[in-house]
Amino acid sequence: MNKILSKPEALKDNPLSYCPGCGHGIIHRLIAEAIDELGIRERTIAVAPVGCAVFAYDYFNFDTTEAPHGRPPAVATGIKRTNPDKIVFTYQGDGDLAAIGTAETIHCANRGENITVIFVNNANYGMTGGQMAPTTLIGQVTETTPFGRDPLREGYPVKVSELLANLDGTKYIERVTVFDAPHVIQAKKAIKKAFQNQVEGKGYSFIEVISHCPVDWGKTPLESVKWVEEVFLKTFPLGVIKDTTK
Amino acid sequence: MVKKLIKGNIALCEGALAAGLDAYFGYPITPQNEVPAYMSNKMVSLGKVFVQAESELAAANMVLGACATGKRSMTSSSSPGISLKQEAISYMAGMEIPGVIVNVQRGGPGLGNIAGSQADYFQAVKGGGHGDYRLIVFAPNCAQEMYEITYEAFDIAEKYRNPVMILCDGIIGQMMEPVEFNKEQKSSFSKKDWCLDGCKGREPRSVKSLLMKDGALEQHNLDLQKKYETIKNNEAKAELYHIEDAEIIIVSFGISSRISKNAIKQAREKGIKAGLIRPITLWPFPSEIIKKYAKPGIKFLSVELSLGQMIEDVKLAVNGVSSVDFLGRAGGGIVSDKEVLNKITELKK
């Protein structure tokens, strides 16, 4: 019998600390597979955020560092500019990337840094117990929107991918999700392309992954999957938002 | 060797370039604007990295990233901008990332004004960011020292894997003085066993400050303290001026030490035995040197461009053996040599 699938070399053996049913584990694996397939593990440097993925360095089997909350794009800029031969990516959640790190996100994208950004959008602050994020949906109940997000009080969900697509510095932006197998396959393709772009020096690539967060959403994993499909994706539709790399 | 007439801020840039600076990250703020302007030309011409960041926050975090890979990197700013850099400074201290941060101080608090000041002493020396950490803090008092201290700062930062701050002021930064470029060009790269350079042929490394395992963070803090003790024992520096027979000893750094020297000359002409201890490092503070000269009957005078910050460390060093007086101005006000002389004369009575 032949073994046809193994754990990627770019992932360590450590057990994940994520909640049951969480999407981060899938996304970590897709990144690790893409890095292995491109043969870039030994020259990759990752920047972990403040948020659920802060422990990414316990799981990724390559060089990693951390950044203060929201600053991964600045830290990645410092790494990539001084080490253009390395493959540099940030892994950030919606609070990190779209609230406290908005300025860093926009200006890093606008400078067209030749890096890859993996943006995990699960519509709430997972690490701190499920508060409203910039991407929380209208009407969504969170720890800090107990009456549901009201646009008159809390504003509207920020569509970062569409926002960044307006900047000339961004080259490839796609929104994907990981709630079922076909979507996981598409997400893998997008993530791999985002790294491939960097290898080829094509510039800034940004992948927004719509992810599920059953524990903080107060849903079972199956209910979460259904909610992503029927509600979440209505506000954040999937697809290639920008691609000037062809 | 030929001397060149340049501003302190430019001397600082030349010192960093001679030290083999790989990357400069900055943001405009007066009175340090000469630094990013000069670096934007020099670094790009040399094929090195210059980025005008979107904020002081971002600039400091770019330094964090570059230095985590073992490159030589610096940022500069002035007081309000340095407040924003404290986030990255605390992380760099915790992650043990070497890097150089320059504060060309201006008047505060808040937006303050753009005149020279020394009111960021507490912020630099006592820890402006969160946590139990120390910065190595240098206080140059002339353009030549802006060049020489910046040149050495990178080696010291890397030796101890600790961020270094150069704490000068708007006057030292802006004043033109002759500078001798007496240092050999260094190249930045030396193979380091901790930095992030890709895990080829080795286990992956992680440079971080988050330590959640039971007791791990306490142990990390204890290790840092051990390092700080070594720095205290090795790196405290001061200049002594007319000190051996001095009955009145001024303690003063940066621009106010230059003013104090003038006053001491005038006092000596009047037969008053005054002298100066000028801390060149503010942390570690040259407490042992001050302690050596603290004797009953000797009068100390702390002269600062603030309303009394370093005086706390002078008092701790003197430890009640001698009296400690204060003279200072705030909000960009400059102490004159005449005011210092009057104070010396008053203390002599």
**A189-237 pLDDT per residue, tens:** 999 999 999 999 999 999 999 999 999 999 999 999 999 999 999 999 9
Write out chain A residues lying below 8 Å of B58, CB-based.
71, 73-74, 77, 103-104, 107
Contact A65 B200 (CB under 8 A): no
Cα-to-chain-centroid distance, residue A120: 3
pLDDT on residue A85: 98
pLDDT on residue B189: 64
Average pLDDT taken over every residue of chain A: 97
Is residue B91 located within the same domain as residue B41? yes
- Residue A9, chain B, CB below 8 Å: the answer is no
A 10 A CB-CB count for B210 gives 16
Is residue B92 located within the same domain as residue B29? yes
Is residue B46 located within the same domain as residue B156? yes
Average pLDDT taken over every residue of chain B: 97
Count of domains observed in chain B:
2
Is residue B254 located within the same domain as residue B295? yes
Three-state DSSP state, A210: strand
Residue A99 lies in a domain: yes
pLDDT tens readout for residues A105-123: 999 999 999 999 999 999 9
- Helices B34-45 and B8-18 sit at what angle, rounded to 10 degrees? 30
Count of domains observed in chain A:
1
Report which of B137, B127, B119 is spatially closest to residue B311, judged by C-alpha positions. Answer: B119
| Partner-chain residue, chosen from A48, A75, A78, that has the shortest CB–CB distance to B23 | A78
Please report where in the chains the tokens 């107060």 appear, as a residue.
A218
Is residue B25 located within the same domain as residue B167? yes
Contact B69 A86 (CB under 8 A): yes
- From B235, B263, B289, the end of a domain falls on B235
Is residue B124 located within the same domain as residue B166? yes
pLDDT on residue A194: 98
Q: How far apart are CA B252 and CA B277, in angstroms?
A: 7
- From B235, B251, B268, the end of a domain falls on B235
- pLDDT band with cut points at 50, 70 and 90 for residue B187: confident
Which H/E stretch holds residue B176? strand B176-180
Range of the domain at A206: 24-243
Q: What is the mean pLDDT of the segment spanning B107-126?
A: 96
Is residue B188 located within the same domain as residue B77? yes
Report which of A169, A67, A159 is spatially closest to residue A112, judged by C-alpha positions. Answer: A169
Inter-residue contact A102 to A94 (CB < 8 Å): no
- From B235, B256, B279, the end of a domain falls on B235
pLDDT tens readout for residues A40-56: 999 999 999 999 999 99
Which H/E stretch holds residue A118? strand A116-121
- pLDDT band with cut points at 50, 70 and 90 for residue A33: very high
Q: What is the mean pLDDT of the segment spanning B50-73?
A: 98
CATH of the domain at A210: 3.40.50.970
Which H/E stretch holds residue B26? strand B23-26
- Asked if residue B170 has pLDDT above 90, the reply is yes
Report which of B339, B179, B164 is spatially closest to residue B235, judged by C-alpha positions. Answer: B164
Is residue B185 located within the same domain as residue B81? yes
pLDDT tens readout for residues A143-196: 999 999 999 999 999 999 999 999 999 999 999 999 999 999 999 999 999 999
Residue A19 lies in a domain: no
Is residue B42 located within the same domain as residue B170? yes
pLDDT tens readout for residues B249-296: 999 999 999 999 999 999 999 999 999 999 999 999 999 999 999 999
- B80 upstream amide cis, omega within 30 of 0: no
Residue A72 lies in a domain: yes
What's the whole-model pTM score? Answer: 0.97
Residue A14 lies in a domain: no
| Partner-chain residue, chosen from B54, B69, B205, that has the shortest CB–CB distance to A107 | B54
Is residue B213 located within the same domain as residue B335? no
Is residue B183 located within the same domain as residue B326? no
Is residue B87 located within the same domain as residue B127? yes
Q: What is the mean pLDDT of the segment spanning B319-330?
A: 98
pLDDT on residue B349: 87
pLDDT on residue A30: 98
CATH of the domain at B260: 3.40.50.920
- Asked if residue B306 has pLDDT above 80, the reply is yes
Range of the domain at B261: 239-348
